[in-house]
Chains A and B, each alone.
Chain A
Amino acid sequence: MIFKVHGVKVSTKRSIMTQTETAAKKTAAKKTSAVKAKADATVTTPPEPAKTVKPAAKKKSGLAFPFTAIVGQEEMKLSLILNIIDPRIGGVLVMGHRGTGKSTTVRALAEVLPLIERVEGDTYNRTLEQYLEAEDGKKGAKAFDPKTIRIEKIPVPVVDLPLGATEDRVCGTIDIEQALTSGVKAFEPGLLAQANRGFLYIDEVNLLDDHLVDVLLDVAASGKNVVEREGISIRHPARFVLVGSGNPEEGELRPQLLDRFGLHARIITILDIAKRVDIVKRRREFDEDPDAFMKKYNREQLKLQKKIQQAKDLLPEVTMTDAVLTDIAKLCMNLGIDGHRGELTITRTAYAHAAFRGETVVTMKHVKEIAGLCLRHRLRKDPLETLDAGEKIDRELAKVLGEAEAV
């Protein structure tokens, strides 16, 4: 039996294409390139069957609405940006009113993401070190010469997980085409592989099927995806920033999953008329001529992208005093938050926030601005509580701040 993990694929050309286009092309061309990759496989190819797989999908229907053209909804935009700066924050849950641009904003994210380095064509988006660690010394594999491996820069991947996805597509399975055409049992990575080191987005996350939630919880906890099928066993890294969105009135989110999200952004209908007129105008302008609209916002987009990259570079230099850390711990304790994920998230998020502001020392001012995002979903839910979660956090925050000032 020939055994091969197809890790290295034909490299995708990318030059002037925008990032979404590349992503779309990749999805569309995936099947074809996969078939091409098999052409150099060992066993002879069987005759072409009468009816083959239909040409997969056309190009993605259009450009994504530019991130910087989205009016308002600062809370959501900030949480997404902070997660790009530090993916360890643990993702964002965006919950709120219908028709307020939740999915538009998340899908717009792709265009402002910085580039990451990966081994050329690697399906799991691994860095050279990760690649060598996993592939070197594997049974049956050729010895690697690190110098021959090429590195490429790709935009941080954003992978969309649709509600109707089946488990095998999420986790990956055996590539049937390859098995048929060349007799090779090769692993066909799923969405979790594609999302490694990137973003995994689930719209209507509160409606996601239980068994997929189980899979996600499992993988999110371990950072690894394990698949056993047709006698082969695959283990690959799957660390991603989980982004979910939904309307709370359509259903509750499973508590375990809720806890997994680092930040919880709330989004409501904008009531400012001028802003709303602006939204309609921009949308119409975009619908009429997407290319021209993109061009108009190109500078803004690049500026934001650069700012994010700068914050990412600055992050290792950011520091926090013990006093601030004490206040954070006090805040979480006073709010009665279970576990320590609350403190950890606030701390990480405050670091990223300071970096985004171009500052190197975290102060309570930074903490104050992000505390709601970090803690809102960690408070115990009580329908009799008249106080809004945000108000409660603010009140406790004010207490802690007051104490700090008094000392």
Chain B
Amino acid sequence: MIAFTDIVGMDLAKQALMLLAVDSELGGVVIPSAVGSGKSTIARAFADILPEGTPFVELPLNVTEDRLIGGVDLEATLATGVRVVQHGVLSKADGGVLYVDSISLLDSSAVSHIMDAISRGEVLVEREGLSEVHPAKFMLVGTYDPTDGEVRMGLLDRIGIIVPFTAQNDYRARKKIVNIVLGTRDAEDTSDELKMLAGLIQAAREQLPHVSITSEQMQALIQTAISLGVEGNRVDIFTVRAAIASAALAQRSDVEEEDMKLAIKLVLIPRATRMPDREAASDEMPPQEEPPQEEEPEGEDEEAPADTPDAEAEEEQKETPDMIEELMMDAIEMELPDNILNISLASKKKTTTGSRGEALNNRRGRFVRAQPGEMRTNKVALIPTLISAAPWQETRRRDSKMAGRSKTALLITKDDVKIKRFRDKSGTLFIFMVDASGSMALNRMRQAKGAVASLLQNAYVHRDQVALISFRGKQAQVLLPPSQSVDRAKRELDVLPTGGGTPLASALYLGWETAKQARTKGISQIMFVLITDGRGNIGLQATFDPNAEKIPKEDLEKEIEALSLSIQADGVASIVIDTQMNYLSRGEAPKLAQKLGGRYFYLPNAKAEQIVEAALSF
């Protein structure tokens, strides 16, 4: 077992966990990091710095609903004939830590239950005749590898700290790690260091209520949140808490600049949706709808004695928070990569998995729950059936004896029968790749938008998802990541630049990547819908290096061919829709369809419905 103090590198992750140890109201820490970087080691070592006896529960990824929430304890129920309740994993973590390794792979229904438990601080068990409330106030620690996919934003929103993606350690650190793992370090040193750290955290916990933060400092933090385009107001509370916890760790009674910097780094930056605009940071609003009514709330008009004293002060010092913010942004940008959006989880559009892509069904997928149902047409869940029959044996025996029927060992009636429900991510992911280059681009874009819209209207029924990739200029771009939300589609499809070169290879590559991502999320059926004349003229190289030389046509074709083969080998179906006027066509689109092993449709002036029809007919 490697102790907390033995972990080399990952300083931010360590700081994050220490803040959480000081203030559990921060909700939790999520650590995205590459494979083998020690993220799960550090998470497990977190128990070292918590007070003794704090529960530390690890959540298995394949957890079933009843194990997660709680339910009837089969063994005890059968043994006693009385329903015995078993607490779920969420409530077992009460007062301690719930640790999820590979949290991005967690089933979306499990994520929903965790979210619910976090927001309530308890679990409502309303199942199988039980109606109970189990306390479940826990800190959530999650680790994952971002290449496995992202964590649902709704869950991240309820977790205070997200450690920015951690960089690789240098060689000295690596050497030290090897030494520690091989056990060449003194065990005594470790225990002393741990004791010291635990003492430090204990002292910080005691200091916590004595730390104060000024209104200006709060304003500066909130201003920063707004400049970074962070969604929601819950984050403000986390940011302020993190700053205070940091001050408490330093045994101070006032929040200082470094505390605020740390809070911004650990709470706000990972949720940034845009780079702050340095010129007009304070006035600019995120690109959102106007707030509904600005009218003052009823019943609030004569309150707020808390604010009156500093209302004037706020007016006067209006400049100050901005200045603090400027200062902080400077400091942060020095330490972090040029574009913070690279490390922001919120900005990665791949993140959301609409859980509607998953469907409960009675046939295939992962067994999640048992529920009453028809025996003949479904798979019977034997154990849940027995559980529901168990308590009735006594009465039923009496009844059947009275009715003069013969005695059987077990009396099971139709009412007891429980059928299995499985969760399966069914439906198809349609990846639209639209050629936004050249003069016909606008037309194609409009057709594609129409088709996407039309597919999404029916997405609920078929549980299909749609992604949209546009390609023009040097490289292709994911405009709409796999989604089912009409709202999202609407938002993402609003601004679409057109014109420029035709990076067909880049589009295929990006589509392939999107397809692979979707596969890890369990979407098995994927279809490419290419709307293009098939005439690519920009190579893949240009995607990575804008100054790359133009490569010859033959090489371009080879690239496309290789990509097409890989895509086909991965079982992705394709259709190519050619909207070019006949006299201009050089027959490249049919060739592309052939390479992809897909079908070719010639649809000049295609209507959206025709495209949908073509896609669905395949």
Binding site for B on A (CB under 8 A): 1, 24, 27-28, 30-31, 49-54, 56-58, 60-62, 68, 71-72, 74-75, 77, 97-101, 103, 160-170, 173-177, 179-180, 183, 185, 188, 190-191, 203-204, 206-207, 209-211, 229-230, 247-252, 254-255, 266, 268-274, 276-285, 287-288, 297, 300, 303-304, 307, 381-386, 388, 390
Contacts and interface: CB of A to CB of B under 8 A. Distances in A.
Interface in B242-284: none
B291 A57 contact: no
B391 interface: yes
A251 B371 contact: no
Interface in B116-158: 116, 119-135, 137, 152-154, 157-158
Interface in B278-320: 285-286, 288-289, 291-293, 295, 297-300, 303-304, 306-307, 314
B485 A279 contact: no
Contacts of A268: 288-289, 291-292
B243 to A, nearest CB: 11
Contact of A252 (B112, B233, B356, B415): B356
Nearest to B310: A277
Given A251-B484, A277-B222, A183 B395 contact: yes
A297 B302 CA distance: 11
Contacts of A206: 356
B153 A249 contact: yes
B307 A51 contact: no
Given A68-B299, A176-B83, A166 B352 contact: no
B234 A98 contact: yes
Contact of B299 (A101, A162, A163, A304): A304
Given A99-B231, A166-B371, A276-B236, A176 B25 contact: no
Contact of B82 (A52, A164, A167): A52
A123 B80 CA distance: 29
A366 B158 CA distance: 37
B113 interface: yes
A291 B431 CA distance: 54
Nearest to B122: A61
B398 A384 contact: no
Contacts, number: 277
Contacts of B369: 166
Contact of B485 (A68, A204, A249): A249
Contact of B292 (A28, A52, A71, A74): A74
Given A273-B219, A300-B299, A170 B82 contact: no
Q: In the complex, which of the residues A24, A51, A266 has the most CB atoms of chain B within 10 Å of its own CB atom?
A: A51
Contacts of A71: 297, 300
Contacts of B599: none
A207 B355 contact: yes
A100 B372 contact: no
Interface string B386-419: 0000011011001100000000000001010000
A83 to B, nearest CB: 16
Interface string B439-468: 000000000011011001101100000000
A61 B137 contact: yes
B391 A180 contact: yes
A54 B84 contact: yes
B124 A160 contact: yes
Contact-size category for B: 35 or more
30 contacts: A51-B76, A51-B79, A53-B82, A56-B131, A57-B134, A57-B135, A60-B122, A72-B291, A98-B232, A99-B232, A164-B109, A164-B127, A204-B112, A249-B354, A249-B485, A250-B152, A251-B355, A251-B485, A266-B289, A269-B286, A270-B291, A274-B307, A278-B307, A281-B215, A281-B218, A283-B237, A297-B303, A381-B457, A383-B449, A383-B489
Contacts of B131: 27, 30-31, 56, 169
Contacts of B223: 273
A145 B158 CA distance: 54
A166 B25 CA distance: 30
Task: Kindly list the 5 A-B residue pairs having the minimum CB-CB distance in the complex, ordered from nearest.
Answer: A99-B232, A99-B234, A57-B133, A165-B126, A169-B126
B132 A31 contact: yes
Contacts of A248: 485, 487-488
Given A176-B392, A279-B236, 10 more contacts: A31-B131, A54-B85, A58-B133, A61-B135, A72-B291, A100-B234, A188-B129, A203-B119, A247-B154, A384-B453
Nearest to B398: A183
A351 to B, nearest CB: 18
Contacts of B80: 49-51
Nearest to B361: A210
B35 interface: no
A284 B240 CA distance: 10
Contact of A254 (B127, B292, B460): B460
A72 B297 contact: yes
Contacts of B295: 74
Contacts of A204: 112, 115-116, 154
A164 B126 contact: yes
Contacts of A163: 109, 112-113, 116
Which of A207, A288, A304 gathers most chain B CB within 10 Å? A207
A58 B288 CA distance: 42
A31 B153 CA distance: 37
Contacts of A52: 82, 84
Task: Tell which of A97, A248, A250, A303 has the most Cβ of chain B within 10 Å.
Answer: A250
Contact of A277 (B25, B112, B135, B218): B218
Contact of B391 (A97, A164, A176, A386): A176
Contacts of B87: 54
Contact of B450 (A57, A271, A384): A384
Nearest to A1: B399
B198 interface: no
Contacts of B76: 51
A27 B360 CA distance: 30
B556 interface: no
A1 B292 CA distance: 60
Contacts of A183: 395, 398
B372 A381 contact: no
Contacts of A251: 354-356, 484-485
B52 interface: no
Contacts of A254: 460
A203 B115 CA distance: 10
A195 B65 CA distance: 25
A383 B129 contact: no
B140 to A, nearest CB: 15
A266 B222 CA distance: 22
Contact of A60 (B133, B240, B304): B133
A270 B233 contact: yes
Contacts of B2: none
Contacts of A229: 415
A176 B153 CA distance: 40
Contacts of B493: 383-384
B113 to A, nearest CB: 5
Contact of B85 (A49, A53, A266): A53
B486 interface: yes
A388 B289 contact: yes
A354 to B, nearest CB: 15
Contact of B133 (A28, A169, A381, A383): A28
A233 to B, nearest CB: 12
B81 interface: yes
B97 interface: no
A283 B213 CA distance: 14
A300 B303 contact: yes
Given A169-B129, A169-B130, A248-B485, A101 B85 contact: no
Nearest to B124: A162
A169 B152 CA distance: 28
Contacts of B457: 381
Nearest to A304: B299
B490 interface: yes
Contacts of B26: none
Contacts of B158: 99
